[in-house]
Amino acid sequence: DIQMTQSPSSLSASVGDRVTIACRASQTVSSYLHWYQQKPGKAPKLLIYAASSLQGGVPSRFSGSGSGTDFTLTISSLQPEDFATYYCQQTYSIPRTFGGGTKVEIK
Amino acid sequence: QVQLQESGPGLVKPSQTLSLTCTVSGGSISSGDYHWTWIRQPPGKGLEWIGNIYHSGSTYYRSSLKSRVTISLDTSKNQFSLKLSSVTAADTAVYFCVRGSLQWPVLGAFDIWGQGTLVTVSS
């Protein structure tokens, strides 16, 4: 199984801050890497697919980069509605695996 | 607009079988552009992929659950289902039904999720 490791597991930030979340795969996943946002009591929402493509309707302050084993999700200017938990996921191989999540909290 | 909705018992006794159904509206479950997936999330924990099914009926399961899980399609009702047998407290989780896109260049990302349903395993 491909292990997905996210860092940090949590962070505190202020509105307007630039936030970066890292995701590392235990072996290459090429560009088969996606990012999701989950708010409490809600289903995850797809933000970024194929490492760097913005899902329709997602604000442009979200961006993704990377390929192979190392990936990054960046929020350029954190907004109040962005406080949530973020997960990376690979669909390169079975089983599909998720990172452990990064909880973004208000400072 | 495609929507997914889970249904099924919220409480299951230990050793019994958990059965959930996902009803797909606004699109056909027979489309070859998508696959249909179950994911679960134990309370306070992360996301765990259970398995998926393609329009052809081909299935893939998490190896640790493979002996207990069955995912099936009912194209006449535009639904897909999950059965998990011999449940224990460790199977207590919110269960999500999810659509995965096979279209290029989405690369299998899970683009539409049901709202999730909490299933508690307890006597």
Q: For residue range B25-56, what is the model confidence (pLDDT) as tens digits? A: 999 999 889 999 999 999 999 999 999 999 99
pLDDT digits (tens, 9 = 90+) for B69-117: 999 999 999 999 999 999 999 999 999 999 999 988 888 999 999 999 9
Residue A71 burial (C-beta neighbours within 10 Å; 0-12, 13-18, 19+) = buried
Average pLDDT for residues B2-17, to the nearest whole number? 97
Please indicate whether, in this complex, the C-beta atoms of B114 and A42 are within 8 angstroms of each other. no
Nearest-CB residue to B63 (from A44, A55, A95):
A95
Strand partners, A20: A74
* Structure-token match 């907004």, residue found: A79
Antiparallel, parallel or unpaired: β A102-106 and A10-13:
parallel
Chain B residues within 8 A of A31 when measuring between CB atoms:
107
Chain B residues within 8 A of A34 when measuring between CB atoms:
107, 109-110
Tell me the shortest Cα–Cα distance from A6 to chain B, in angstroms.
Answer: 12
Q: What is the pLDDT of residue A86?
A: 98
Q: What is the pLDDT of residue A85?
A: 98
Confirm if B22 and B16 have CB atoms less than 8 A apart.
Answer: no
Containing A90, the helix (H) or strand (E) segment is strand A85-90
Per-residue tens of pLDDT for chain A, all 107 residues: 999 999 999 999 999 999 999 999 999 999 999 999 999 999 999 999 999 999 999 999 999 999 999 999 999 999 999 999 999 999 999 999 999 999 999 88
Cα gap B9→A105, rounded to integer Å: 34
Q: What is the pLDDT of residue B58?
A: 94
Confirm if B82 and B69 have CB atoms less than 8 A apart.
Answer: yes
Confirm if B26 and B3 have CB atoms less than 8 A apart.
Answer: yes
Please indicate whether, in this complex, the C-beta atoms of B111 and A101 are within 8 angstroms of each other. no
Chain B residues within 8 A of A46 when measuring between CB atoms:
109-111
A103 CB within 8 Å of a chain B CB:
no
Nearest-CB residue to A44 (from B52, B63, B113):
B113
Please indicate whether, in this complex, the C-beta atoms of B107 and A49 are within 8 angstroms of each other. yes
Q: What is the pLDDT of residue B104?
A: 83
Q: What is the pLDDT of residue B106?
A: 86
Q: What is the dihedral of CA A82, A93, B120, A105, to 10 degrees?
A: -20
Cα gap A92→B93, rounded to integer Å: 25
Please indicate whether, in this complex, the C-beta atoms of B107 and A50 are within 8 angstroms of each other. yes
